[in-house]
Amino acid sequence: MATVAQRKAVLLKADVAQAFPSARPRRLAHRLEELGLGAKVALFAERFATGRSATLRVDGRPRPQLGLPQGSPVSPVLLALFYSTAPRANGIYNYVDDFGILGTGRDHAAAKADAQGKYARPRSLGHRAGCPPRPG
């Protein structure tokens, strides 16, 4: 916790769960078209993400991965564009699938309450999209 101008600050860090797999091809293409990137870019992204699958072993168990492939240099760029509609309010900052929420207040409890209140919107949006944020 930091003190700035006699106010306390709290930083809540979170990560979007299953961010790469949640970027479904058609939703991704639609988002790129909304951003004005054109039909060719949207079609490329949709084709890039369509039919891609991999199986990763986590703790010895196979886990299928869909959506944008992790490890590709193109995927983080497309994911950043996909999440460019993430809520940007005063005190909420995001980068690809990670974000931070800055809460401030006259004391620690008020700063914590401010951060928790700001967390409610991205949490709600994430749950509706099937990729809830998780504190990290």
The tally of domains found in the chain comes to: 1
Concatenated DSSP letters of 32-75: HHHTT--HHHHHHHHHHHTT--EEEEETTEEEEE-SSPTT-SSH
CA distance 92 to 83: 13
Average pLDDT over residues 88-93: 68
Question: Containing domain of residue 96, as a range?
Answer: 2-135
Greater confidence (51 vs 12) lies with 12
The mean predicted confidence, pLDDT, of the chain is 78
Rounded to an integer, the average pLDDT of 96-116 is 88
Question: For the whole model, what pTM was predicted?
Answer: 0.59
Highest mean pLDDT: which range of 58-62, 84-88, 116-120, 129-133: 116-120
pLDDT tens-place string over residues 24-56? 888 889 889 988 999 999 999 999 988 766 666
| Identity of the amino acid at 22 | S
Q: Report pLDDT for 106.
A: 92
pLDDT at 136 over 60: no
Our measurement of the distance from residue 18's CA atom to the centroid of its chain's CA atoms, rounded to an integer in Å, reads 9
